[in-house]
Amino acid sequence: MADQKDISAAPAAPAGPASGGTQSFGGDRPSRGYSDGGRGRGPRRSSRDQRDDEPKDGLIEKVIHINRSSKVVKGGRRFSFSALIVMGDKQGRVGMGMGKGAEVSEAIKKGGENARSRVATVSLSASTIPHEVYSEFGGAKVLLRPASPGTGLICGKTVRAVVESAGVKDVLSKSLGSKNSSNVAKATLNALLSLRTREQILKARGLEHRLTAIKTA
Provide the CATH number for the domain formed by 123-217 in this structure.
3.30.230.10
Distance CA(87)–CA(115), nearest Å, equals 6
Q: At what angle do helices 181-193 and 157-166 cross, to 10 degrees?
A: 30
pLDDT for the residue numbered 156:
92
List every span in the chain annotated with CATH 3.30.160.20.
54-121
List every span in the chain annotated with CATH 3.30.230.10.
123-217
Contact present, 144 and 171 (Cβ < 8 Å)? yes
What fold, for 54-121?
A: Double Stranded RNA Binding Domain (3.30.160)
pLDDT for the residue numbered 111:
94
> Listing from the earlier edge strand, what are the strands of the sheet with 93-101?
60-73, 76-88, 93-101, 120-121
- The CA dihedral of 49, 52, 53, 54, to the nearest 10 degrees, is 130
Distance CA(28)–CA(190), nearest Å, equals 65
Residue pLDDT tens, the chain, 217 long: 444 444 444 455 444 444 444 444 444 444 444 444 444 444 454 443 433 444 557 889 999 999 999 999 888 999 999 999 999 999 999 999 999 999 999 999 999 999 999 999 999 988 999 999 999 999 999 999 999 999 999 999 999 999 999 999 999 999 999 999 999 999 999 999 999 988 888 888 877 776 666 666 5
